[in-house]
Each structure stands twice: as structure tokens, then as C-alpha cells.
Amino acid sequence: MIRKGRSASAPKAQHDTGRPSDGQESRDAREGERGFGHSGRDVADAGADRFQRTSDARAARTASARTAATAESRRPVRSLKSRALAYLSRREYSRAELSRKLMPFVDDVDALEALLDALVREGWLSDARFAESVIHRRAARLGTTRIVSELRRHAVDDTLIEEVNAQLRETELTRARAVWEKKYGQLPTTPAERARQARFLAARGFSMGIIGKILKGIDEAWPEN
């Protein structure tokens, strides 16, 4: 007698356990291996590209430096006179100052002195014009003492310095008064204020006699210390 129920030959239903089948795991593993292989090759390719770019940039810089060095070596050597004229084209120089500027470019001091003599003869170099340029640039702001000191630093001839000194003394009071009026314009009312104004004028190179005249508000002669 045949019992009622499921047939013995009927396949059993498979329960879904949430785990992939063996076949699916194999496929996933192969896909992962392929993906890892692509990623590794991409990283290697990127590194190679960066290395190549760095090498190319380094080679370009080296080539540029060599080109610049070659151009510099082919540039004609500048003569000593052309250097001197280049300096003199910008402003006036004293003989001593120009000598100091050119000294690093000479091996023979006698040759330099001969060049300076020639520049003086040809009218390119003049201590007198240098002194005039200093007066023009400084006289409106500085006193005689400061201007004469600058000329001495540049080894201007003593005779010329004496002439400049006498010339500046004639206008010292007028120039000092203009400087004082621009800075203060009012006579000091306390000893402290007087000392402050006196220090300012003295620092500008004006003599104590001139300073005394200005701070007392008088124009008559004031004995200089």
C-alpha cells in the first residue's frame, strides 16, 4: 500500500542560508584578482610617469644652465673704460670714488690711474662737478658740516672743499631757517623744547651759532662755538 505524502523522488527544497555558492565565490575571487592586477599596474604606470616628468624637467634645467653659461662665456669682455663711462653716465663721481668702483676689475693699479687721468683730461671725470652735484642734492636739507664731511669721505681735494665751505657758509642761516620752519615753525617755550629743536638742527649739520640765531628768533650775528 502506498502511503500518502511527498514522493521520495521529489527533490528537497534548498534553504537560502545567505552564503554564496562555491561557483559564485570562485567568480568573485577571479574578478578580485583581475581588479588587483589592474590597480597595481595603474600605480606602477603613474609612478613611472612621475619619474619621467621629473627626469625631463631636470634635463631641461641642466640644458638651460649650460646654454646660459655658454652665452656668458661668448659675451665680449667689457673694457675698463666702458665700465667707467657706464658709471659716469648715471651720475657724477669723484676720482677716488670711481677708483674704488673700478678696483675689483683691474690687476694693474697703474693702468687704472692712467685711465682716471685720461678721463679727467677728456672731461668725463671732475671733482668740481661732483662737489656741485653734492651741494645740489644736499644743501636744501643739510648744513655745511654734513656736506663738507661727505666731500672729505670721497677724498675731494682740500682746496675745493674750502671753496665749497665758504660758499655754503654764506647761505647757512637761510637754509637752516627753512629747515627749521618746515619742521617746527614756532620758537621753543621751554628748555626741553629748545634742546629738542637744537638737537634736530645739529644732527642736520648746522653750526651752533646758526642754531642759536634761529632759536632766539634773531637775525644779527651770533658768535659760533
At 38-63, the pLDDT tens digits run 555 555 566 666 767 777 777 777 76
pLDDT of 221 above 50: no
pLDDT single digits (tens) 115-153: 999 999 999 999 999 999 999 999 999 999 999 999 999
| CB 127 within 8 Å of CB 157 | yes
Q: Please state whether the predicted TM-score (pTM) of the whole model is above 0.85.
A: no
CATH class of 78-125: mainly alpha
Average pLDDT over residues 187-202: 95
| Per-domain boundaries in the chain | 78-125
Decide which of 13 and 99 is more confident: 99
Query: 190 phi and psi, to 5 degrees?
Result: -130, 155
Burial code (b: 16+ CB inside 10 Å, e: under 16) for 110-119 equals eebeebbeeb
Q: CA-CA distance, 68 to 72, in Å (whole number)?
A: 6
Decide which of 123 and 65 is more confident: 123
At 139 the three-state DSSP class reads coil
pLDDT single digits (tens) 163-179: 999 999 999 999 999 99
Decide which of 9 and 154 is more confident: 154
Amino acid in the structure at residue 190 = T
